[in-house]
Amino acid sequence: MIESHLIRKGVIMNFYAIESDNVPFRVRELENLIRKHKQLYYLGNTEISDEAYDLLEQELRKLCPDSYALNIVGHENLSDSKIQHEPPMLSLDKIRDPQILHTWIENNECIMSYKIDGSSASLRYENGMFVSASTRGNGEFGENITEHFLYIDFPRKIQKSKKDHIEIRGEVCISKNDFENLSNEMVKRGLEKPKSIRNIVAGLLHKKSNLDLCKYLTFLAYKIENTDIDTYRNELKILEHFKFTIPKYSIIQKDLEAYHIQTIIDKYASDTEYSYLTDGLVFSFDSIALQKSKGFTSHHPRGKIAFKLQSEVKQTKLLGIDIDVGRTGQLSFTGIVEPVELSGAMVERVTLHNKRYIEEHQINIGCTIEITRSGEVIPKHMSTVTPNGEYVFPSNCPICGSILSETDTQVTLICKSLGCPARGKAAINHWIKTLKIDTLGESTIDKLWDAGLLLNIKDIYSLTEEKLCIIEKMGDKLASKIVSNIKSRREVKFPHLLDALGIDGLGTGISKVVVRKFTTFEALLNASVIDLTTIEGIGDIIANNIYSGLHRFGFELLKSLVENKHIEIIYDTQLSTKYNGLIFVITGDLSKPRDEVKLFIETNGGKVTGSVSKKTNYLVCNDPSNSSKYKKAQELNIPIITETILYNM
């Protein structure tokens, strides 16, 4: 958050915000560590504990919340044998605070199940018959582990659905008893004895020999893709009907109080008799329609969430409450507490989240509270032990003085003034970071802000060497480099510009998806909220946020920057509509990575599916083969074309 003492009160300007930090060497170091340990985790060779890994992510999230490393799903390096996931196989967002969970549930019926500690996998069925199995991989493509699954006990044949194909997703794991049996068998074969349940599952799925050891593994199914099922509970029942083993689950009724939910969580957490290793709980909205309306990020769906169990808890006294204004104008609250040692660190600050949270927990200055620290940079409030009256919330923004409003969900307070300095400074930081204008770091921005030289995004492009040299310790050489770097970032790709606006929900991943449908500034300008919701992954809430942000300030800002030749929007020259309405299937060896070919088709208006059906228009295949896709295309008289023909259509 932007610290209050860094903002000059009473100054009103016009800009929009998203918070950002400078990108120091430590960020690169953390990104490399996270990539390394995530890769080792999915290969079954972990070197550090979950808590140590979470600390790396938490530190990176504080320094660089938009880092690509935080959005890596699975691992990045795949073998030559890859299978595409339809839709992408995403990860889950994680929370540890029961009150945040209660707010997330928002009086909706949910399904709570164990989060199994194993390796995610997806099984593909065509016309009811099992055809392939794959790991999560990078979310888009997974490694082919079909041979491994031939030794695992699971349904080879299921009831045919209305769709040509479906994917059954779940977790490959091993029971505590089978782990002992597997360990003994591996020792007998002269193999290294497995160190842990988690490591051995991922390790076996990546082995090229001794595949029969996979007979000790279990597949717990939790998701059916490409179906029209209305509720998640029915989805689980259908999986059971198909004879799949599923994780233990409970139905969380709507309007259930927070303490009731906590009771259920405690019951699950204390179940030591469960056969499989777990690392938390998964909460899913029961309504599939609601899940879809929530949309998803490039990393996780918003209709599901993972709840991690709490760690050490201690009591302390709340000495004060700091208020910060965030990227969308929402107020957040941080408690200042009497210093207390927690999980090996001295704690002086604790997040209090939002207005509703403070009210529900009777938090006020002077009260005694319980706090916990489970790897978070800033520890969290757990409960209020001794209340001390009601906290009086401000009626005006602590930064710009504008009258505050409640958010639509009444969760917290919001400053709606686009001229709020807190939002403006965050907007500048985010714009500079997204466009990668090097040397114009946060400390320099602070000085320029205080000097009145950089008060909105447009001011970036009016900076000169003469203006910069007014700043203390700003030499001619550095000033010249800053101006040069700003000019070198004049040409900006369209999705990067949309991301740089900092609109809630319009991040890196969604921006790329949006420009595939609305390929130009003018096309997006004419798009309605309904048009935006037709894009996969964008629900009603995100669509409204995007539309509102673009029409309140985004379009005006981009138009001004373009007209004054400060920036030039670079559109992807490959984007066209020549494949509009066409459905392609890809098989066999290609001259380019499969995901590149897929992206080429999609950016030209086409769609890529994983199996051949009557709806398929073309099969892309460079050489004749005995694959099921090739044979099916011949049977249905579907045109088979090479890459060369594809690119020249």
Q: How do the domains of the chain map onto residue ranges? A: 25-64, 82-298, 313-414, 492-570, 583-647
pLDDT for res 434: 85
Are 370 and 314 within 8 A, CB to CB?
yes
Average pLDDT (421-432) is 86
- Band of the pLDDT at 196, cuts 50, 70, 90? low
- Band of the pLDDT at 12, cuts 50, 70, 90? very low
pLDDT for res 303: 92
pLDDT for res 7: 29
How does the average pLDDT of the chain come out, rounded? 81
- For 256-322, give the secondary structure using H, E and C: CCHHHHHHHHHHHHCCCCCCECEEEEEEEECEHHHHHHHCECCCCECCEEEECCCCCEEEEEEEEEE
Separation CA 221–CA 93 (nearest Å): 19
Residue 358 CB-density burial (10 A; 0-12 exposed, 13-18 middle, 19+ buried): buried
Structure tokens at 85: 């996931």
Convert the pLDDT of each residue in 568-595 to its tens digit. 998 875 556 678 778 999 988 776 667 6
pLDDT for res 164: 80
Higher pLDDT, 23 or 242: 242
Segment of 8-12, 247-251, 590-594 carrying the highest mean pLDDT: 247-251
Q: Tell me which of 2.40.50.140, 3.40.50.620, 3.30.470.20, 3.40.50.2300 is the CATH number of domain 313-414.
A: 2.40.50.140
pLDDT for res 283: 94
Separation CA 362–CA 369 (nearest Å): 10
Convert the pLDDT of each residue in 346-403 to its tens digit. 789 998 988 988 998 999 999 999 997 643 346 778 889 999 999 999 999 999 999 9
Higher pLDDT, 357 or 623: 357
Strands 331-342, 313-325: parallel, antiparallel or unpaired by DSSP? antiparallel
- Single-letter amino acid code for the residue at 360: E
pLDDT for res 44: 53
Q: Tell me which of 3.40.50.10190, 3.40.50.800, 3.40.50.40, 1.20.20.10 is the CATH number of domain 583-647.
A: 3.40.50.10190
Higher pLDDT, 626 or 169: 169
Segment of 3-12, 238-247, 300-309, 399-408 carrying the highest mean pLDDT: 238-247
pLDDT for res 238: 93
What are residue 323's phi and psi, to 5 degrees? -115, 130
Separation CA 263–CA 253 (nearest Å): 13
Separation CA 378–CA 258 (nearest Å): 23
Angle between helices 98-105 and 258-269 (to 10 degrees): 120
Residue 356 CB-density burial (10 A; 0-12 exposed, 13-18 middle, 19+ buried): middle
pLDDT for res 236: 94
pLDDT for res 296: 81
Higher pLDDT, 171 or 147: 171
Give the CA distances from residue 160 to residues 127, 164, 346, 457, 543, in Å, rounded to whole numbers and listed in that order: 5, 8, 59, 56, 35
Least confident window among 229-243, 249-263, 297-311, 372-386: 372-386
Statement: residue 80 has pLDDT above 80: no
Quickly count: other Cβ atoms within 10 Å of residue 242's Cβ: 18
- CATH number, span 492-570: 1.10.150.20
- Band of the pLDDT at 6, cuts 50, 70, 90? very low
Separation CA 407–CA 274 (nearest Å): 42
The pTM is what? 0.42
| Strand ranges (E), 64-137 | 82-84, 94-95, 110-116, 119-126, 129-135
Least confident window among 1-15, 104-118, 143-157, 306-320: 1-15
Collect contacts of 401-405 with beta carbons under 8 A, ≥24 apart.
Answer: 401/9, 401/10, 404/331
Return the closest-CA partner of residue 433 out of 500, 375, 386, 501.
500
| Strand ranges (E), 175-270 | 218-225, 249-252
Higher pLDDT, 247 or 272: 247
Least confident window among 117-126, 212-221, 639-648: 639-648
Share of the chain above pLDDT 90, in %: 26
What are residue 539's phi and psi, to 5 degrees? -90, -175
Statement: residue 199 has pLDDT above 50: yes
Separation CA 407–CA 26 (nearest Å): 36
Are 179 and 194 within 8 A, CB to CB?
yes
Return the closest-CA partner of residue 520 out of 537, 535, 498.
498
Convert the pLDDT of each residue in 221-241 to its tens digit. 999 988 888 999 999 999 999
Average pLDDT (512-539) is 85
Higher pLDDT, 19 or 370: 370
Are 512 and 599 within 8 A, CB to CB?
no
pLDDT for res 315: 93
Return the closest-CA partner of residue 633 out of 581, 579, 586.
586
- Band of the pLDDT at 616, cuts 50, 70, 90? very high
Average pLDDT (7-31) is 43
- Band of the pLDDT at 72, cuts 50, 70, 90? low
What are residue 467's phi and psi, to 5 degrees? -65, -45
DSSP assigned state of 553: I
Q: Tell me which of 3.30.160.60, 3.40.50.150, 3.30.470.30, 3.40.640.10 is the CATH number of domain 82-298.
A: 3.30.470.30
Structure tokens at 48: 């550090």
Separation CA 375–CA 380 (nearest Å): 10
pLDDT for res 507: 77
Strand partners, 250: 112
Convert the pLDDT of each residue in 164-183 to its tens digit. 888 999 999 998 788 888 88
Alpha-carbon dihedral of residues 382, 387, 388, 394, nearest 10 degrees?
A: 50
Structure tokens at 634: 């011949």
Is residue 394 reached through a cis peptide bond, with omega within 30 degrees of 0 on the bond before it? Answer: no
